[in-house]
Amino acid sequence: MNQQCNRSSDGGMIDRSKIIKFQFDGRAYEGHPGDTLASALLANGVILTARSFKYHRPRGICTAGPEEPNALVTLGRKGRSEPNIAATVIELFEGLEARSQNRWPSLRYDLLAVNSLIKPLLSAGFYYKTFMWPRSFWYALYEPMIRRAAGLGALQNRPDPDRYEHAHIHCDILIVGAGPAGLVAAKEASRSGARVLLVDDQPRPGGYLSGESLEIDGQPGAQWAHEFADELRAMDNVRMLARTTVTGRYDGMTFCAVERVSDHLRARNTKVADLPRQRLWTIHAEQFICAAGAIERPLVFDDNDRPGVMLAGAARRYLNQYGVLPGREVLIFTNNDDAYLTARDLSAAGADVIVIDTRKKAPAAKLLPGRLKVFFEHALTDVSGHNSLSSATMTPLVVKGPKQTMRCDLICISGGWNPTTHLLSHLGQKPQWSQKIAAYTMIDSGSNAFVTGGAAGLFELTQGMEDAAKTGRNAARACGFSTEERSVLPLVSPNSSYAIEPFWRLPKQLSDGSKSFVDLQNDVTVGDLELSEREGFGHAEHAKRYTTLGMGTDQGKLSNVNALGLLAELRDQTLSETGTTTYRPLYGPVALGALAGQRTGAEFAPVRHSAMHDWHAEQGAVFTHAGLWLRPYYYPRGDEGFATAVTREVRAVRSGVGMVDVSTLGKIEMKGPDAGNFLDHLYINSFSKMKIGRARYGAMLREDGMMFDDGTVSRLSREHYFITVTTVNAASVLQHMEFCHQTNWPELDVQFCSVSEAWSAMAVAGPKSREVLERVVEDLAIDNGAFPFMAVGNGTIGGAFVRIFRISFSGELAFEVYTDASYGQSVWEAIMRAGQSLDITAYGTEAMTVMRTEKGHVAGPELDGRTTAADLGLGRMMSQKKDFVGRRMAVRDDLVLDTVKQLVGLKPLLEGASFKMGAHLVEDPTGIGANVSQGHVTTAVYSPACDHFIGLALLSGGRNRVGERLYAVSPLHNEQVEVVVSDPVFVDPAGERTHV
């Protein structure tokens, strides 16, 4: 093929001195810097670029912007493969590889094009009708079949190798769109001193001007825009983001935007040094100016989807911006004046042009050279050609007259222009129908959003820029800046005018019944909309869902207004009455990677390490996640497995001494004259009268009466308490306390804050724990007489201040040692050294779980948000003498029935048998089904002390069922084990060991 056969010899904003090589469907082509994939394909005479969604009809490039419905391609390979990107937004880069989609075996010969022949089966609502019978076929046959045949590109099931980042930006005025209106508005606003952020989705500023041949202030419009933008860029208070699409407007003047940082720099499968692929911006603005321009809409007539049918404005842009003449025998079919500019420019570039206008006359006809033929009150009624155009037929609309068939290789269509007001409607504002421009428009909304230029429906350039200047000043004033009137506006030559008469569809009698497409991307035809209306789904919102119109990746940017016009006609309504569907964020497709940003893989969430983490790691600990923390799970020695190591650790504690890192516990320091009183409100038990220097186990409820958290509260002085809460609830307990203080009991004089990070903590447990600690603790006597169970005191270890609590979770004689986190590891190591001769053993969270289960202590699995204190055997702790959170609701009738689930212990009937956490407790294992479960196993471990499996369970009426036999069944594991209900405390029920 003649390389770049459609490229003009000069003009446009491309650099003809440099060649960029790329591939489309495996074939090599060449383009230039400044090209998009679409312009480069058109330059090379590639007309056929895609197959349609449902009918697999051949399609070509239709637009020159992000609104492209047809030419979607898959870009890149392997992990970088990305489907469904519009060729019109892909900046050409060296080595680019793109593939067409939704075709088999090839784009030119697509076997699934037979779908066109079974169109009656695939009409609107076919999901709900055609494939309903037999019912069982839906999942097995119909749905997979439809999904295979209809669709777009395929997702890659590989990790995305690229990097994305998130960033915030603040400004006084956000202006979206760097076309003539946006540029002028930015200039005017910035002169006041306001911080202006100007965002545009194209590589270069200019917007509309980049595609036009007009002059401003005596220079080509695009050139003027560049120089104007350079002036802006030089200002300290202006920032411009190119290649950035503002995708959504959210509450409180927050916007989201995606910047394509290095997409255009990507060579094949390589990383661009140190640049993220895309950047997701959160923009915070005081004022917003929408200057996003307008999007052209197609005309609806028979076979209007053929490759070679293109929007008139797009054809003009390909010529003026990219130096591509997309056709030489051109028919222009329009209902408005704008397409005459295309006729003028294409004709000047050497194409044979014929204009077909549905209207009686056109003010813009005077723009055209005399030789150019214009047929008024005519319409295109037939398009011939399959993979490219051969000819088209035109028919008079009003009087009867002969049809004329003309050869063509390009048909430019224009059904009018729709202001791009998506960002204004994201917060729910409804557009108004404007008869003058036959489009929906938005007015400035509220006090902080403005619209100007083409986005405001001002399609005449001078008028648009005048309004933009005023809008820029108004926005600056709204931010509190003072502005002066600007006297001189750029001079536009020639200034365009705009007139239009709506033409929603070909009159029925002129159609031969071929498909007329309204939504090109989702293959929705006039026939589908008629059917939808006939079947009672004629409301705009209904028709959208019934036909899927506007639900493609282009979100109906081309199709919505045509569909509404058609529905209005069918329903004999005005367009104001028909109303619109709602535009919602996102404006265009956004890569999931951009939304995830850096939060993927290891960076998905922060990881917290205790001060002793390095020690654990050196000892070969296996870690487990607890909230964001990494905690030692167990410390295998040699080739020990999980069970052996855990059992060894438990035995070491029960017979000697062990130490566990409990730094992850939430810690709260509370002070003030009312601290005790406040704690009484928070906990079910009482702390205001607790002795100084003592700790106490405490439990707190939610206001609905369910257990929320447990831990210890210690009184360090009259007005000073120290509180520990569970690791995973550390943040929510503090939040709960603040809520209670600031809303329920603000009169209490109490201050508290989290000190979780300030302290390292370790529990030294086992009959020899005192012996170890006595070797290192100074300034505190810890013998049983001076320092009894639940005593609290201050001392030092190796000179470091320590707070010691005689608290036990394991059920053994135990001490919790707290120290400044910066001394955590040295205190830990000092205790380890002191205990070496007594074989002190580091133990992990699993050994801790085993021991607390042996003692019947509840933890996370039992505090599941559905259990009361009474259910867990803590009912006696609930004070009768004071008001506390959850007090009233905990004793409501339904929660104190005999049948509520209560904490029990479990043993297997046969020693050596095991059962699983999560297993259900049933009386008869043969009839497993709904409503037979009497409870479930919350914790199941092997107990070295008992030498068999033990468990904790929540069992209906459990406390009165000790000794009963039940089955623990886990259908998931196909397991049923006979168990015996027992008391939940398996080791040292009298609690003597902790008191020695």
Partner 1 sequence: MRIDCPWCGSRPLHEYAYSGDATTKRPDAERDADLSVWMDHVYLRDNPAGLHKEYWHHVSGCRSLLVVTRDTTTHLIESVSLAVQPSKGGKK
Q: Is 3 in the site for partner 1 (CB under 8 A)?
A: no
Q: Which of 744, 914, 933, 956 binds partner 1 (CB under 8 A)?
A: 744
Q: Is 739 in the site for partner 1 (CB under 8 A)?
A: yes
Q: 901 with 956: CB under 8 angstroms?
A: yes
Q: Which of 140, 157, 218, 251 binds partner 1 (CB under 8 A)?
A: 251
Residue 168 C-beta: closest distance to partner 1, Å: 8
Q: Of 283 and 526, which has the nearer Cβ to partner 1?
A: 283
Residue 254 C-beta: closest distance to partner 1, Å: 6
Return the number of other C-beta atoms located less than 10 Å from residue 703's C-beta: 16
Residue 796 belongs to what H/E stretch?
strand 792-797
Residue 185, token pair as written in the block? 């508005």
Measured at the CA of 557, the angle between CA 555 and CA 559, to 5 degrees, comes to 95
Which is nearest to 939 in space by CA: 964, 958, 914, 956? 914
Q: Is 880 in the site for partner 1 (CB under 8 A)?
A: no
Backbone angles phi, psi at 432, to 5 degrees: -110, 145
Q: Which of 137, 250, 604, 642 binds partner 1 (CB under 8 A)?
A: 250
Which is nearest to 970 in space by CA: 924, 917, 932? 917
Q: 136 with 37: CB under 8 angstroms?
A: no
Radius of gyration from C-alpha coordinates of the chain: 38
Distance CA 41, CA 18 (A): 17
Residue 744 C-beta: closest distance to partner 1, Å: 5
Question: Which residues in the 767-826 window bind partner 1 by CB under 8 A?
Answer: none
Residue 733 C-beta: closest distance to partner 1, Å: 13
Q: Is 604 in the site for partner 1 (CB under 8 A)?
A: no
Segment near partner 1 (CB under 8 A), from 567-575, 649-657, 745-753, 957-965? 745-753
Residue 198, token pair as written in the block? 């100007």
The three state secondary structure string of 75-136 is: ECCHHHCEEEEECCCCECCCCEEEECCCCCECCCCEHHHHHHHHHHHHCCCHHHCCCCCCCC
Q: Is 669 in the site for partner 1 (CB under 8 A)?
A: no
Residue 591 C-beta: closest distance to partner 1, Å: 21
Distance CA 776, CA 636 (A): 27
Segment near partner 1 (CB under 8 A), from 237-245, 333-341, 872-880, 887-895? 887-895
Measured at the CA of 725, the angle between CA 723 and CA 728, to 5 degrees, comes to 155
Residue 753 C-beta: closest distance to partner 1, Å: 8
Segment near partner 1 (CB under 8 A), from 93-101, 250-258, 561-569, 853-861? 250-258
| Contacts of residue 797, Cβ cutoff 8 Å, sequence gap at least 6 | 776, 777, 778, 817, 819, 827, 830, 831
CA distances from 330 to 24, 308, 341, 356, 413 (A): 26, 10, 13, 11, 10
Distance CA 51, CA 49 (A): 7
Distance CA 179, CA 891 (A): 68
Q: Is 758 in the site for partner 1 (CB under 8 A)?
A: no
Q: Is 136 in the site for partner 1 (CB under 8 A)?
A: no
Pairing of the two strands 196-199 and 238-241: parallel
Residue 980 belongs to what H/E stretch?
strand 975-982
Q: Of 282 and 826, which has the nearer Cβ to partner 1?
A: 282
Q: Is 746 in the site for partner 1 (CB under 8 A)?
A: yes
Q: Of 589 and 676, which has the nearer Cβ to partner 1?
A: 676
Distance CA 461, CA 771 (A): 90
Helix (H, G, I), strand (E, B) or coil at 647: helix
Segment near partner 1 (CB under 8 A), from 134-142, 483-491, 882-890, 931-939? 882-890
Q: Is 369 in the site for partner 1 (CB under 8 A)?
A: no
Site residue total, partner 1 (CB under 8 A): 27
- Per-residue binding string, partner 1, 701-730, x by CB under 8 A, is --xx--------------------------
Q: Is 10 in the site for partner 1 (CB under 8 A)?
A: no
AA letter at 612: M
Q: Of 223 and 732, which has the nearer Cβ to partner 1?
A: 732
Which is nearest to 271 in space by CA: 21, 33, 79, 24? 79
Q: Of 395 and 425, which has the nearer Cβ to partner 1?
A: 425
Q: Which of 275, 586, 622, 889 binds partner 1 (CB under 8 A)?
A: 889
Q: Is 254 in the site for partner 1 (CB under 8 A)?
A: yes
- Per-residue binding string, partner 1, 685-704, x by CB under 8 A, is ------------------xx
Residue 690 C-beta: closest distance to partner 1, Å: 21
Segment near partner 1 (CB under 8 A), from 173-181, 268-276, 315-323, 886-894? 886-894
Residue 747 C-beta: closest distance to partner 1, Å: 6
Residue 709 C-beta: closest distance to partner 1, Å: 17
Residue 160 C-beta: closest distance to partner 1, Å: 24
| Contacts of residue 931, Cβ cutoff 8 Å, sequence gap at least 6 | none
Residue 974, token pair as written in the block? 């196909």
Distance CA 428, CA 423 (A): 10
Q: Of 749 and 864, which has the nearer Cβ to partner 1?
A: 749
Q: Is 577 in the site for partner 1 (CB under 8 A)?
A: no
- Per-residue binding string, partner 1, 419-458, x by CB under 8 A, is --------xx------------------------------
Q: Is 892 in the site for partner 1 (CB under 8 A)?
A: yes
AA letter at 195: R
Segment near partner 1 (CB under 8 A), from 216-224, 888-896, 902-910, 954-962? 888-896
Residue 250 C-beta: closest distance to partner 1, Å: 7
Residue 825 C-beta: closest distance to partner 1, Å: 29
Residue 702 C-beta: closest distance to partner 1, Å: 9
Q: Is 735 in the site for partner 1 (CB under 8 A)?
A: yes
Which is nearest to 83 in space by CA: 482, 723, 469, 589? 589
Q: Is 156 in the site for partner 1 (CB under 8 A)?
A: no
Residue 876 C-beta: closest distance to partner 1, Å: 20
Residue 186 C-beta: closest distance to partner 1, Å: 23
Which is nearest to 168 in space by CA: 472, 585, 597, 602? 597
Q: Which of 116, 130, 282, 826 binds partner 1 (CB under 8 A)?
A: 282
Distance CA 642, CA 633 (A): 9
Residue 704 C-beta: closest distance to partner 1, Å: 5
Segment near partner 1 (CB under 8 A), from 249-257, 598-606, 685-693, 792-800? 249-257
Q: Is 866 in the site for partner 1 (CB under 8 A)?
A: no
Distance CA 877, CA 480 (A): 61
The DSSP call for residue 588 is S
Q: Of 125 and 627, which has the nearer Cβ to partner 1?
A: 627
| Contacts of residue 364, Cβ cutoff 8 Å, sequence gap at least 6 | 337, 338, 340, 341, 496, 497, 499
Q: Is 887 in the site for partner 1 (CB under 8 A)?
A: yes
Distance CA 245, CA 259 (A): 7
Distance CA 817, CA 765 (A): 11
Q: Is 836 in the site for partner 1 (CB under 8 A)?
A: no
Residue 890 C-beta: closest distance to partner 1, Å: 10
Q: Is 865 in the site for partner 1 (CB under 8 A)?
A: no
Q: 279 with 167: CB under 8 angstroms?
A: yes
Which residues are 135's β-sheet partners?
Answer: none
Which residues are 245's β-sheet partners?
Answer: 258
Chain-centroid distance of CA 356 in Å reads: 46
Residues lying near partner 1 in the complex (CB under 8 A): 168, 250-254, 282, 284, 427-428, 703-704, 731, 735, 738-739, 742-744, 746-747, 749, 883, 887-889, 892
